A and B are shown apart, each in its own frame.
Chain A
């Protein structure tokens, strides 16, 4: 059973960079039928797609966040990471990492439990 676990600081100061890591267990991040992604949810609001990465390093970002987002992958550690720069209070959210099934359909089938990141001084 695939499991994903987010880790990283729960509090980030305005204008700084938010950094999170997702550790994948129970399966390989180098799967040819998977993308790996980040999704966030501000308190009381809906889900927002941040971006996705393939194990080869190919990335796809939400156009509205593209200038501030970097997603990277470390296949040796079975991890992928998110960096979001120049954060403001509007970036306060629960951040989920996820596995996206591709090729035979395109959907999220595994989610991490989510981690709350608060942007505040």
Chain B
């Protein structure tokens, strides 16, 4: 299985909105509504931000939202804050009952 494709980096100013894309295939992203997104700060374990494409766990800010179209999923962060600066990873369940991650996107808040 190949890693999902994410941009290496994105950036935005405080208060702005950014979107991170995650492209897979019909065997993963396109075939299931089981895309999740994780935030990782340096030296920390990842934290679940979005699951099942667009659901938000309790305690995660509603500034974070997810969507999917075909084989591409997206994470949007609105009203950027300094604390949002981190690495973001998408993940999808696959047709062979495994999971696959994206390569990760470094978000810089300017």
Contact = CB atoms under 8 A, between A and B. Distances in A.
B96 A47 contact: no
Given A60-B98, A106-B32, A47 B46 contact: yes
B104 A113 contact: no
Nearest to B92: A106
Nearest to B101: A47
Contact of B104 (A46, A49, A52, A63): A46
Nearest to B47: A111
Given A46-B89, A111-B46, A112-B45, A60 B52 contact: no
Contacts of B52: 105-107
Contacts of A74: none
Contacts of B103: 46
Interface size class of B (residues with CB under 8 A): 20 to 34
Contact of A109 (B3, B57, B89, B99): B57
A113 B46 CA distance: 9
Interface string A17-45: 00000000000000000000101000000
Nearest to A62: B98
A114 B93 contact: no
B91 A48 contact: no
Given A46-B3, A49-B101, A63-B96, A113 B57 contact: no
A101 B48 CA distance: 12
A108 B91 contact: yes
Interface of A: 37, 39, 46-49, 51-52, 60-64, 96, 100-101, 105-109, 111-114
Interface of B: 1, 3, 32, 34, 36, 38, 45-48, 51-52, 55, 57, 89, 91, 93, 96-104
Given A46-B89, A100-B99, A106-B93, 14 more contacts: A37-B99, A46-B101, A47-B104, A48-B101, A49-B91, A49-B98, A51-B98, A61-B98, A64-B1, A101-B51, A107-B34, A107-B51, A109-B48, A111-B46
